[in-house]
Structure 1
Amino acid sequence: MALADNSTNSSFNCSTDSFKQVIYPIVYLFIFFLGAAGNGFSIYVFFQPSQRKLSVNIYMQNLAVSDLMFVSTLPFRATYFLLGSHWVFGDITCRIMTYALYVNMYCSIYFLTVLSVVRFIAIVYPFKHWKVTNKKYARIICTAIWLFVLVASSPLLSKEIAGYSDPDKCLDLHPSSQQRLLVMNSFVIAVGFILPFGTIIVCYVFAIKALLKSRSPQHKKAVCHKKALSTIIITLILFLLCFLPYHVLRTVHLVQSSCSQSSLPVHKALVVTLCLAAMNSCLDPILYYFAAENFKAQIRSLYCR
């Protein structure tokens, strides 16, 4: 949620446009090619007729679809900065670009969180029937996540938040709406980041405790535990690498209303952390490879074919 640069201080220019025009095109195009290939192939594997339709794979399918939808917007973003922060695709497309970024980010966060909970249950309560591990309810939960995030992010489609009177500008949010953005950010930080992140940490701690207590599990159970732990650890790393820095810097940036030389490093750091957040889209296939059910076997089968 990057605010438009506001040069209210006549002796110092807060603009980071030149920095963005170097960093964003390189990173966005790299993520596009890697993310399109990785998520496109993952979706192809997930939707193979022989692929097991388990709840874990259903959540991962939805995560891959979300990531693929997001990376498809990155060429538009890269083009904007390659043209010197000049938008040529129209006002509606501009707002869709901002909307798509946050829809993907928070869908990814929620799908990763639910995956961690499912794997946590597999370790700690393996013999109990939970709705979150049921295929039917997995589809319902995925639908609920999509609807919640799409509706909650809808203010970003409004002209007041993501629209521009200057048709050449795009992808930053108005400084004039800063108070409204601060309120939105507080809600998003609590519901969209702290709650999921806290849930994943709890899953990690209790899963480790349960694994330490288990004594020489059977081979099948050991494989289940390995996949469960891989899911939670990879998810935790993704949160720490991709989402935590961005949410911290975004909040600092929104709170900093003044333009000064000391605020410029924060503006540049926010650019870097947004790149890290976008990078999540091409890192998720690592999770599928190590933690999805039957994913490796399906790849081997396709290779042999």
Structure 2
Amino acid sequence: MASADHNCTNIDQLMKRYYLPVAYGIIFIVGLVGNVTSISIYMTKLRPWKSSSIIMVNLALTDLLYVLSMPFLIHYYSNGESWTLGDFMCRFVRFGFHFNLYGSILFLTCLAIFRYVVVSKPLRAAQVQRKLCGIIACSVVWIVAVAEIAPMLTMISLDERDNKTVCLDFASTIPFDLRWYVWLLTALGFLLPLVVVFMCYIGIVKQLANGPHTNSPCRVRARRVTVLILVVFVACFLPYHILRVLRIKTRHSEDVTCMVEHVVHAAYIISRPLAGLNTFFNLVLYTLSGDTFRRAFLSIFYRECWLTKARSLVHLAIISKRDSGIPAG
């Protein structure tokens, strides 16, 4: 590796210092408010739950656990990559990102499968919408997601660089002899779910094109939800998985110039918050999943609006009463 290349650039270090804190800050604010609101709506206004509601709540919980780790990363990158929280918190924060990533992928895949069954197998629609199906699906997702990324806990660790303790991300610390794990994780954790979601979308499109009642709200909603899930896979998850492989490859290649390594690293840094933006798309997904959630969400603002109007009317009445008591002349 030509680390002494005089034409080398430190663009990746600039991205860490200025881009990551801002990007993570936005994800934290929007994700925290949005997911707390969504979970509150599901818990208080949308009972009893169907299977899709249970999956949505678990997806929101996964996103919430992820955004709660953002302040640690914001502080870390804002202070020039100086980690002061110990080895456990380093592993926990890095683990949280990947748990959200692969947990979200699996939850979204479950939603796509359930929507496909509702559209293409109407006789089984009531069966997959039962609460028990949602509980079983979510239990399987949690177990599989933990199993997929548990090996990372042994690979992520602290390091000493330039008299500072740094908490390296997964792609920057994995040994070269364990790169097979990255390929396996990419194939089973991302590519296989992507194929499943794509096949569900094709099945839904064919069913809507050929079957009766193609414009029914349930079927149109199923198509929109599946399209959104595909967008999340392609826009958020695909760049990260491609650039993670390139990052690992350039780290361990002897014939890669310093410039190429830093540029690939910078692109990989950009893709990490981009993968986290799936939390934004998930918030849109909740509103597309059904009219019930939209009405419950809008009722919050309508209630606040009526409370504001009521306070204004009471305030005006008090002022009018006070003014009417003032003697004329």
TM (norm. structure 1) is 0.89
Say if 2:279 is the partner of 1:281.
yes
Residue number in structure 2 paired with 1:3: none
CA contact (8 A) 1:94 1:170 kept: yes
Highest Rg: 1 or 2?
2
Q: Percent identity?
A: 28
CA contact (8 A) 2:157 2:168 kept: no
CA contact (8 A) 2:156 2:173 kept: no
Residue number in structure 2 paired with 1:183: 180
Shift of 1:138: 1.3
- Structure 2 unmatched runs, 5+: 304-329
Shift of 1:304: 4.2
CA contact (8 A) 1:120 1:204 kept: yes
Shift of 1:19: 2.1
Say if 2:289 is the partner of 1:291.
yes
Residues 175-215 of structure 1, C-alpha deviations (whole Å, 9 max, x = no match): 561221x1111111111011100001101111001001123
Residue number in structure 1 paired with 2:310: none
Cα distance in 2 between the residues matched to 1:299 and 1:176: 43
- Structure 1 unmatched runs, 5+: 1-6
CA contact (8 A) 2:46 2:293 kept: no
Cα distance in 1 between the residues matched to 2:180 and 2:82: 29
Residues 116-175 of structure 1, C-alpha deviations (whole Å, 9 max, x = no match): 1101111111112686543112112201211221232122222xx111243720032455
Query: For residues 89-100 of structure 1, what are the structure 2 equivalents within 5 Å?
Result: 89-100=85-96
Say if 2:26 is the partner of 1:30.
yes
CA RMSD of aligned residues (A): 2.0
Residue number in structure 2 paired with 1:4: none
Cα distance in 2 between the residues matched to 1:240 and 1:234: 10
CA contact (8 A) 1:80 1:86 kept: yes
Cα distance in 2 between the residues matched to 1:227 and 1:17: 43
Cα distance in 1 between the residues matched to 2:77 and 2:268: 16
Cα distance in 2 between the residues matched to 1:192 and 1:14: 33
Cα distance in 2 between the residues matched to 1:191 and 1:130: 30
Supply the AA of the counterpart residue of 2:68: S
Supply the AA of the counterpart residue of 1:121: V
Secondary structure in structure 2 of the residue aligned to 1:87: coil
Residue number in structure 2 paired with 1:136: 132
Cα distance in 2 between the residues matched to 1:246 and 1:116: 21
Cα distance in 2 between the residues matched to 1:233 and 1:32: 25
Cα distance in 2 between the residues matched to 1:216 and 1:109: 30
Residue number in structure 2 paired with 1:269: 267
Supply the AA of the counterpart residue of 2:220: K
Q: 1:34 to 1:176 in 2, by over 3 A?
A: closer
Secondary structure in structure 2 of the residue aligned to 1:239: helix
Secondary structure in structure 1 of the residue aligned to 2:197: helix
CA contact (8 A) 1:63 1:108 kept: yes
Residue number in structure 1 paired with 2:75: 79
Say if 2:197 is the partner of 1:200.
yes
TM (norm. structure 2) is 0.83
